Structure 1
Amino acid sequence: MSGSVHFPVPPEVVCDYLADPANRAEWQSSLARVEDVVGEMGVGQTWTDVTLPGLRPRMRTTELVRPQRWSETGTWRGFEADLTLELAPAPGGGCVVGVVMDLRGRGPLGPLARALALVSPAAVRSDLRRAARLLGERHRTGS
């Protein structure tokens, strides 16, 4: 999956917000909360996403080059997903966040993973648009 979303704030603000697990439940629609955060924000930090359906993937930051790139890997049972966000200044202000995602399933979960990979791009872009709105509102109000 790939695509991009415009944010009305600088790449540094976006990177710090999206890479911090403490913010995830605010902008990620499927997330109830984050638990078991281990380590500081950066490569090697881990946490557990607790989703609204009750799934609990274990997440790990695999790359953080602030403010240009952030990557994570999530694993849950026989599934594994990689998400990379590429941030770049946008002409006219703010930044563009490019998204690359790969979802895999082991063994008999492979076909299900491929089917989920077809619908996940819209959900990821929707979540990022939500994050962009939240950061834009904060920027306008100065909070």
Structure 2
Amino acid sequence: MPPGGRAGRAASGRRGVQPGRDPLRGSIVTFPVPPDRAFAYLADPRNRPDWQSTLRAVADVAPAEDGSFTAAGVSWTDVTVVPGVRPALRTVQSDHPLLWVEEGHFGPARARLALTFAACPEGTRVGAEFSVTMLGAGRFIGLASRRTVVADLRRASRILAASR
């Protein structure tokens, strides 16, 4: 009997495990650059309007105490494509080049995005875990946003590939 105690079921056929996804980390996107370069680009909020489809700009960008724009403590405001929607965000964890976490809020909604970075033969595997907390529609918004987050990360990967 295979590990896990169930015969006759392939690992990729288990519920919740899909090709191209790591069930512990959410969605995975491969970047054709080393982890430090992928981290530096994705963690700096000043780059976000270039690759994040829901943004027009970022405003009020304040660096961390050490002057870095990729360290914990960086804060900014997203200027979204939706008029009047301007969530406040902050980098809450930054372990260059392994882990970067932001948290944000707008009214009653709270969001969290965690990115992990792992070297691979093609460059870097970036894992994304995204969640939204809000009464009522929070879970739906989080699930619906996952595709957008992955598409945005793929756009960032293409941008970095073109700039090599």
Q: Normalization by structure 1: what TM-score? A: 0.91
Equivalent residue for 1:46?
A: 75
Equivalent residue for 1:75?
A: 105
Q: Distance in 1 between matches of 2:49 and 2:93?
A: 21
Does residue 32 in structure 1 map to residue 62 in structure 2?
no
Where do 1:4-15 residues align within 5 Å?
Answer: 4-15=28-39
Does residue 84 in structure 1 map to residue 84 in structure 2?
no
Q: Larger radius of gyration, structure 1 or 2?
A: 2
Does residue 116 in structure 1 map to residue 153 in structure 2?
no
Q: CA RMSD in A?
A: 1.0
Q: Which has the higher contact order (CA 8 A, sep 6+)?
A: 1
Q: Distance in 2 between matches of 1:66 and 1:21?
A: 15
Q: Distance in 2 between matches of 1:118 and 1:35?
A: 27
Equivalent residue for 1:97?
A: 126
Count of matched residue pairs: 134
Q: Structure 1 stretches of 5 or more lacking a match?
A: none
What do the CA deviations read for 1:25-60 (whole angstroms, capped 9, x no partner)?
Answer: 000001000000112321111000000012100000
* Offset at residue 10 of structure 1 (A): 0.5
Letter matched to residue 59 of structure 1: L
Letter matched to residue 127 of structure 2: G
Letter matched to residue 53 of structure 1: V
Q: Structure 2 stretches of 5 or more lacking a match?
A: 1-24
Q: Distance in 1 between matches of 2:148 and 2:122?
A: 25
Q: Normalization by structure 2: what TM-score? A: 0.79
Higher helix proportion, which one?
1
Letter matched to residue 118 of structure 1: L
Query: Which contiguous aligned blocks of 4+ residues in structure 1 show a shift greater than 3 angstroms?
Result: none
Q: Equivalent pairs: percent with the same residue?
A: 39
